[in-house]
Amino acid sequence: MRLSVVMSVYNGARQLAATMDSILGQTERDFEVVAVDDGSTDETPAILAGYAARDSRVRVISQPNSGLTRALIRGCAEARGEVIARHDCGDRSAPRRFAEQLALLEQQGHVLVSCATRFVDEDGDLLYDVTADGATVRHSLLTDGVRHIGALPHHGSAMFRRDAYLAAGGYRPQFRVAQDLDLWIRMAKLGTIGVDDELLYEATFAPRSISGSSRAAQLELTELAVALRDGGDPDTLLLAAEQVAPAPVTPHGEAAALYFIGRCLLRQRNPKGRQYLRAAVQKNPWHWKAWVSLLSSRVR
């Protein structure tokens, strides 16, 4: 088998069908989907079972809730393809994504590739687009400090050689968030990175997502990943990483994510941004930046 698509799902029923349809509608047909149901309590198991019954390429692995990193470790261990593509529930891939990224991976000899990514809110409205230069990302991963280190446009947009994944040591369970950057640092030592500049992946930014609520833990784990890269003691640093727990989503944390989404929408001249700003101040009445943005947008 040429390709394995690895996806973890936890209570993703609301957007799971759109994600699965985008995966199964690829122009590249030689792949399997390894969907790890990470202890979902909503309709996720039934939806995945329905897709598996209709399409033999879909394999569902069910496990008690263990978190994204351990689910990805399980999924990658079960993957049978020579290449692994990541995908997140709630996101969508353009029909040519797998074909384009496989060509980039194989023709250029990269160990890791990605693509330009469009970030949208939960209704599909544009927030911003991100792309990168592969050589620049690799250099940054190997040399830059925490505040300036580069990354792929999105974790879910990644595709990598299975043998390189294994040689790098795979995802590390201690990195419950920032697991992608920790892996990319180690894979960057093994070969080159490519990024397709075409928008082939669409990622949903939700206020309660990891990226929206666990910034402090991500920064702390990034510091540890960089310290490991730079020759720090693995036993000490991995033990420290094990102790970093993502904080539960709080009203203040959700307000910060709502504010960010609102500002992005206003930059796109989308008046719906005001709804997010109002939601932000409802969650945290002391969020002065949200108040200022809300009042200034009313003036304009």
Q: Domains of the chain (ranges plus CATH)?
A: 3-242 (3.90.550.10), 251-299 (no CATH)
Predicted TM-score (pTM) of this structure: 0.95
Numbers of helices and strands, H then E, in the chain: 13, 9
**Under DSSP, is residue 205 helix (H, G, I), strand (E, B) or coil?**
coil
Beta pairing partners, 128 = 119
Q: For residue 61, what pLDDT is reported? A: 98
CB 34 within 8 A of CB 6: yes
Reported as a single tens digit per residue, the pLDDT across 88-119 is 999 999 999 999 999 999 989 999 999 999 99
Give the model's pLDDT for residue 299.
52
Q: Are 246 and 209 in contact (CB under 8 A)?
A: no
Q: CB count, 10 Å around CB of 25?
A: 11
Would you state the pLDDT for residue 11? 96
Q: How far apart are CA 104 and CA 20, in angstroms?
A: 23
Query: How deeply is 248 buried, as exposed, middle or buried, from its count of CB atoms within 10 A (0-12, 13-18, 19+)?
Result: exposed
The parts of the chain modelled with pLDDT lower than 70 are 209-213, 299-300
Q: What is the pLDDT of residue 211?
A: 57
Give Cα separations from 126 to 33, 34, 181, 262 (angstroms). 27, 29, 25, 11
Nearest by Cα to 176 from 36, 38, 71: 71
Question: DSSP assignment of 275-294, as one string?
Answer: HHHHHHHHH-TT-HHHHHHH
Q: What is the chain's mean pLDDT, rounded?
A: 95
User: For the segment 246-262, what is each residue's pLDDT rounded down to a tens digit?
Assistant: 878 788 888 999 999 99
For 165, phi then psi, to 5°, come to -60, -45
At residue 102, the pLDDT reads: 97
> How many Å apart are CA 191 and CA 86, to the nearest integer?
19
Taking phi over 0 as left and psi of -120 to 50 as alpha, with beta for the rest, 269 belongs to left
pLDDT at position 300: 55
pLDDT for the residue numbered 298 = 73
Closest CA to 11 of 112, 124, 90, 116: 90
